[in-house]
Structure 1
Amino acid sequence: MSQAGSSTATAATAGTNHEVVNLDQLVQEITTSTDSKALNVRLHTFGGKDRDRLLSGILTNGQDPLASLDPEQHTLGYLYILSARLSPNPGHHHPSLRVIEDFCLRFKPEEARLAPERVTTLAKNIVHVTSQNLKYALTPLYNLLTRYPPSRSTLTTIHTHFITSCVTVHHYATALPVLSHPITNVDPKLTDLTYNDNLLYHYCGGVAFAALKRWEKAEEFFEICVTAPGTIPAAIQLEALKKLTLVQLILYGKTKPTPKYTNAVLGRLLRASAYGNFVREYPASISKLQTSISKDIETYNTEKNMGLINQVIQRAPRWLIRKLTSTYVTLGLGDIAKEIGSSSEDEVRATIVSMIEAGEINATISVDGNVTFSDLTTTVTKAQIDQALKNAQAQSKLLLELERTLTSSKEYLSKALKQRENDSYAMDDDDGPGGPPSTFNQWGDIL
């Protein structure tokens, strides 16, 4: 028996009222309780500062207390004990993965919501105990995430742990069922969410979409991270802006202005960085771009952006060819090769054929190697129109529900009124600190 277990099996006193603390008695209360709120108070105060150590013990008969409980019938008690047993403190005998998965699949959400801080602790500790093989955390975290909040569009701390775990083990597709639900609600009573949780969720979501080459969604998630309001920009927001910039070069061949409410400090930091220099030279021939990045190659590798940089460079000839279509009607393959800095007409031909097949340009290539460009024609089917209308109606309904929720919130109305009366919150382009905190580095290895 471990020291934690033996100390729990005996009675102890805690608090100023000399309450008897006994795990056997607590398990009995859990199995007989008919008042979940009262039970939650009891579990929360059990053992005082020694609560988790005591909850991690075993019964006087040597039995695991979880063996006496059912995840569905005794959700609250099971949650407190399981989250304590999974803590990183030495001496704890961690439950098996099967026990963890069984709870996450069967617990009663409405009871678990009475103890949101324990749900956060459970998610964090699941990541801890599976850290040697983090892929085993994905299934229990997914079940916990999809069952705990009342809506799939409600952001919780579990989202952050799940998405970061998916990205860490490169299981990007596993994250898609969660990322596909847009976040429209945050309930502080449901989860002890922090500002950083929101940033991490959208940053790692952007990484997952970029890894899957779903560039539009990657752009959306990185932009949400970048534009999250804050007086001082977080370091992760600058990293998101770097990736957002590279994704936009892949998508559009150029960057797009960030929304006006983006912290101005971020833009200044980017323009003064290696990425700012790269953007100013893009698009150009592959050889010129490779020469350009050579002096900053260590920076790109350290920040785990070299993969994106290479994809941006490989897209450069296509953007140069797109530019030619607005100037020329007919151009020879050899002339195009010179314009884009290629030494091979065959490579140019293959690129143009690929662009035609992808619908990026409208052109024909003659037998003698002349390329004739014409305007792109867009064909929209009835099915596409119907789907667009369906999506618009769904978004309209979602926005209406969100507006009703916001306008019924006294806290929101109070803050909105205060903001109208005082518009000095906006940061001038020359205001603010010289840069974001330098503590952002723990996520570099996930890319």
Structure 2
Amino acid sequence: MEVIEGLMTQSAQLREAAYLSDQSYDRQIRENVASLRHVVSTKSLGAFASNDSLLDHFDPVADSLVYLFLLRAQIQAFQEQSREKVPAALLPPGNLWSRVVSYLRTFDPVPVRYAGQEWRQLIELVAQAAQVVSKHILAVRMVRDAMLRLDPSCAVFTSTHLLFVRLCLRARAYTYALPVLDKYVCHFPTSTSHPASKSSVLPCAAHDSSLSFITETSGISAKLTYKDYLQYFLCGGMVYMALKQWSKAARFLGIVISMPTVGPISMIMVEAYKKWILVSLLEKGKLSSPSNLISPNVVKVYHSLAKPYVNLAHSFQRGDLKHLEAEVDAARDIWCTDNNMGLVSQVLGAYSKHTVLGIKQTFAALTVKELADQASPVRMSDEATESVIASLIMSGAVKATLVQHSSQNSSTMLRFSEAHSLTQLSDESKTQTCLAWERQSLGTLMGHLDEISHHMELSDEFVDGMQKGQVWSNTGDVNPGIGEDTALEIDEDLMGEVS
């Protein structure tokens, strides 16, 4: 019981320190973290670690730091008792699971910045517990809310980003992923920071960006590799594809396929390229041009490894439905092996839509029968064709009207038209909303670019200072204010791949 009283005293001291200076608070919280880690590592809690009433002495909000360590101590005690990585006590809807749910939704993010490793391990255990009971959806919202609570911007890429998007895919909880996926990833955890002032070194201080406290040593993220980054954007693109948000899916997949590489491209990039081709057809009805960041040699490799997909795109663009269907049938095993059969089926279904949109550029009106003739050999009756057109009109994909004649022998007329006033007002409202969102996103990106320039010592103030202190000499002397170790080096092989 003395240990519990000691923890309560520490927590009370930390609450009092919150009203003092950042330096005092930082000093107190670091002492608390060191003490708590010692308590957990030496098992000073003893039998109390598995006592259900242990956490009743603390508040998950006011005592966030102590509560987090006690949760980890309890889980560790149950792990040792059951000899299981995910003990039964942690599985939903158990009492310990309920406490974890409550904590992740209400914890104070500032002190948790000092216990990033423990916070991340708790998140990972939550995901594993949901997987054990085959209910990934139970962990999706918890992980998302915890991420946004610790870092509302989600601008620094962490291992939790990838864990979260995988959970969303497995749970098919696609809309739950949007609050994280829609935010721009601008940074990786840094090994060191270059703060503007001494006070901003402290994790507890107010920061313009989470890059200042999410570092390689913070423990908030596990060690990252470039494959983690690729997998995040590939999985994110798959989420957008499931929601039929083709433009965002294309952007995510484009990030993957344009990843600079000095060696062979990875199979993750090839998989993303295959999906990118299909998404291009669904979004624009044609194969988009690859980004200029991708070297011609890499594009050739992509084409050779994704030849059936390229052939499918060419058949789609030529407007030859018979050839398109033949390409689909010929490579059916490939689509299934790549888990892209669903996308290919949607591409085949989108043929009518893009055909109608193409005809709209030439004709103001034509009969359904004439439309069927124009759309290459469509093997459908007039009634079936009319039904397809009606569905495209109702979905908003095509702005037109169908006019039926009183005579049953006359074919229905399709008239392309501009949207009526109500639809125009609706479109204008959507455009204004999109512009406002883009303006906000651009402002966020510009802020992160300024921060990157500062961390890379490329800011205007730094460059001006360098120019003022630069000493030009024919003898090749180095400016003593710079030093040889600070010279910028560029990997020529890497730059060659992105030229």
TM-score range, shorter chain: 0.7 to 0.9
- The CA deviation at 1:85 is 5.0
- The CA deviation at 1:313 is 0.5
Q: Which amino acid aligns with 1:130?
A: A
Q: Say which of 236, 249, 265 aligns to 2:281.
A: 249
* Counterpart-to-counterpart distance in 1, 2:48 and 2:72: 17
Alignment of 1:31-430 (within 5 A): 31-33=8-10, 34=13, 35-44=28-37, 51=41, 54=43, 58-59=47-48, 65-83=54-72, 85-86=74-75, 91=83, 93=87, 94-95=89-90, 96-131=96-131, 132=133, 133-149=135-151, 151-188=153-190, 189-190=213-214, 191-192=220-221, 194=224, 195-232=226-263, 233-262=265-294, 267-272=299-304, 273=306, 274-283=308-317, 284=319, 287-327=322-362, 332-338=367-373, 339-343=375-379, 344-357=381-394, 358=396, 360=398, 362=400, 367=405, 368-369=410-411, 381=425, 383-384=429-430, 386-410=432-456, 418=488, 423-428=492-497
Q: TM-score, normalised by structure 2?
A: 0.68
More moved, 167-176 vs 193-202: 193-202
- The CA deviation at 1:314 is 0.6
- The CA deviation at 1:243 is 1.9
* Counterpart-to-counterpart distance in 1, 2:46 and 2:160: 26
Please give the per-residue CA displacement for 1:78-97, whole angstroms capped at 9, x wherever unaligned.
32443465577752544421
* Counterpart-to-counterpart distance in 2, 1:280 and 1:383: 37
Residue 494 of structure 2 aligns to a residue whose secondary structure is: coil
* Counterpart-to-counterpart distance in 1, 2:189 and 2:39: 27
* Counterpart-to-counterpart distance in 1, 2:283 and 2:144: 31
* Counterpart-to-counterpart distance in 1, 2:113 and 2:57: 22
Q: Which amino acid aligns with 1:342?
A: V
Q: Which amino acid aligns with 1:418?
A: L
* Counterpart-to-counterpart distance in 2, 1:63 and 1:359: 58
* Counterpart-to-counterpart distance in 2, 1:124 and 1:370: 59
Q: Which amino acid aligns with 2:122?
A: L
* Counterpart-to-counterpart distance in 2, 1:221 and 1:416: 34
- The CA deviation at 1:237 is 2.8
- The CA deviation at 1:59 is 2.8
Aligned residues: 402
Please give the per-residue CA displacement for 1:245-291, whole angstroms capped at 9, x wherever unaligned.
21221111112122222366663344222222222221445554333
Any unmatched runs of 5+ in structure 1? 1-23, 432-447
Q: Is the 8 A contact 2:277 2:310 kept in 1?
A: no
- The CA deviation at 1:226 is 3.2
Please give the per-residue CA displacement for 1:361-397, whole angstroms capped at 9, x wherever unaligned.
5576574337576686798546456445533542343
More moved, 153-162 vs 376-385: 376-385
- The CA deviation at 1:147 is 0.9
Residue 136 of structure 2 aligns to a residue whose secondary structure is: helix
Residue 124 of structure 2 aligns to a residue whose secondary structure is: helix
Residue 418 of structure 1 aligns to a residue whose secondary structure is: coil
* Counterpart-to-counterpart distance in 2, 1:129 and 1:74: 25
Please give the per-residue CA displacement for 1:314-344, whole angstroms capped at 9, x wherever unaligned.
1112223333344556655434324432232
- The CA deviation at 1:150 is 5.1
Please give the per-residue CA displacement for 1:152-211, whole angstroms capped at 9, x wherever unaligned.
544443332222112101111222333333334544442326244433333222222221
* Counterpart-to-counterpart distance in 1, 2:289 and 2:487: 29
Please give the per-residue CA displacement for 1:71-127, whole angstroms capped at 9, x wherever unaligned.
234333432443465577752544421011121122221111112222222211111
* Counterpart-to-counterpart distance in 2, 1:60 and 1:116: 21
Task: Look up the match of 2:481.
Answer: none
* Counterpart-to-counterpart distance in 2, 1:175 and 1:389: 22
Identity %, equivalent residues: 19
Q: Is the 8 A contact 1:317 1:340 kept in 2?
A: no
* Counterpart-to-counterpart distance in 2, 1:297 and 1:416: 56
Shift of the 57–373 alpha-carbon distance from structure 1 to 2, 3 Å rule, reads farther
* Counterpart-to-counterpart distance in 2, 1:266 and 1:424: 14
Q: Which amino acid aligns with 2:488?
A: K
